[in-house]
Structure 1
Amino acid sequence: MDTINFYKALRGEKLSSSIGDITFTTHYVGELILTSGRLVACDPLAFPDSEAFQKSLPIGKYPVFLIVAHYPRNNDQRVAYAIIRISEETPISWKLGICSDEELASLTENDTLGYPVDSGVGCFMDFDAVKILDDSIYYAYIANPQEESLIDLIQDELRKNYRPTWDWANVCIDKSTQLNIIAFSSGYGDGIYPTYFGYDTEDKIVNIVTEF
């Protein structure tokens, strides 16, 4: 991750580019509920059965923010970073989030390690949400095609929070635990996007950032 640009974006500073100055705004989009502490970052519409990261987090709820880049041409706005804030401490080091050791073992210098996006949407959710999402898809599309799935609900909520060239949704999928999925536009759309874990001086995780 380009940490210099990330911290500039976090502070709302401008970045110079060939098309002019890029400005940034930060948007709070809700608290992510972690019921198992096993975090998943994925495209929930195209790859809802994704794996969790190896690193677990304390069970609890954590604020999620989007840093949106504003480009000078055509009022174009794109989600540049999605952030989970675990604590108020400042990260001093970053490590790439991985789901399995095989990922790093097979990585070459030309590869990008991250999660694939095929619907223009990324998300954060607890691994407990994956089974609920999978069951919903099976029930709606196979067992009872007339039933609306959670995929439809996520898309509906994204449309409600649409603004030019980006959107987001905070969708509760289990009322008893308040388990939720926080979804958002993935930068310029489809691609592969890495997620990084930020650590403080005591080697504790303080931030998780997906870079778009």
Structure 2
Amino acid sequence: MHKRSITLCMMAVTLFSCTSKDKVPSSTNDILRTTNEFDLTDTIPKIMIQDTSLAFPKIFEGSFLKGTKVAQFGTEIAFDKIAIGNLKISSGQIIATDPVMLSDAIAFSENFPVGEFPVELAMANINVNKDRRVAFARVKFSDKPIKKWAFALLPGQAPIPLKSKEIYGYGVDAGLGLFVDRAAKNNLDTLLDKNWDSMFSEKFEDYLNHSFQNQNAVFFSTGYGDGFYATYIGRDSEGKICQLLTDFDMVLWRNVAE
């Protein structure tokens, strides 16, 4: 088993699970999956957000705003935001994936702004068991209001509705996700091979912004851990990209009317 996986299996953290770096996508099912697998109940969450002007799904932006709460599964979830530094984007192409799968990952087909942009995590604080998890991770390119959200697509993928019965996304086996510029992919993959143990030791908590060779990557824990998670692009009224956001299925927003 690859050393990246060995370390994760030894960590006494329920968030992580054992996996192999050598696993490769066997079919399109690794990037397209039915949403029924994630609907554990038909409960409709009650989402309480002060800013009623937000585009659907309101929880995408609302989870980063003070005072947002969700009533779901018989408990209340309160949200707060963590800023974890900037992501350097030099090629305009971004990869979102499980770091164990990085060598096989490809960038989204969209061209993103070039520069350094803040990365933020929306933390879900679950009242019933005093638990705290990463609910959403985003790269923020603009402060302009988002008019519309859509799936971030890989080359060859056709657009689908937000509430489609199937979703695009990436599988997680290591309890971790990341954002990285495509130009930094190969250097990062080599870095992970050599430094996985030190980067993701028992001291790892929720996130890591790691710099290397004038590049960087941002890592974060993924909700309740392993699963299949979709990434979305938010655009303003002029169609310009404002945000790239990955949803870790902490809130069943698909059950809420638009």
The alignment yields a C-alpha RMSD, in angstroms, of 2.3
C-alpha distance 199-63 of structure 1, shift in aligned 2 (>3 A): same
The letter of the residue matching 2:136 is: Y
Give yes or no for the alignment of 1:28 onto 2:64: no
Distance in structure 1 (CA, Å) of the matches to 2:107 and 2:65: 30
Equivalent residues in 2 for 1:52-201 (5 A)? 52-101=107-156, 103-104=157-158, 110-136=165-191, 149-156=194-201, 159-162=202-205, 167-174=206-213, 177=214, 179-201=215-237
Task: Give yes or no for contact 1:49–1:131 (8 Å, CA) kept in 2.
Answer: no
**Correspondence for 1:11 among 65, 85, 89:** 65
The letter of the residue matching 1:30 is: G
Report the secondary structure of 2:110's partner residue: coil
After superposition, the C-alpha distances for 1:65-96 in whole angstroms (9 at most, x for unaligned) are 00010101221111110011101111111121
Q: 1:136 offset after TM fit, Å?
A: 4.0
Distance in structure 1 (CA, Å) of the matches to 2:158 and 2:179: 22
Task: Give yes or no for contact 2:102–2:185 (8 Å, CA) kept in 1.
Answer: no
Question: What is the identity percentage for the equivalent residue pairs of Structure 1 and Structure 2?
Answer: 32
The letter of the residue matching 1:155 is: F
Distance in structure 2 (CA, Å) of the matches to 1:7 and 1:57: 19
Report the secondary structure of 2:104's partner residue: coil
Task: Give yes or no for contact 1:69–1:79 (8 Å, CA) kept in 2.
Answer: yes
Q: How many residues align?
A: 191
Normalised to the residue count of structure 2, the TM-score between the two structures is: 0.68
Unaligned 5+ residue runs, structure 1?
141-148
Distance in structure 2 (CA, Å) of the matches to 1:71 and 1:105: 33
Unaligned 5+ residue runs, structure 2?
1-54, 249-258
Normalised to the residue count of structure 1, the TM-score between the two structures is: 0.82
Task: Give yes or no for contact 1:112–1:192 (8 Å, CA) kept in 2.
Answer: no
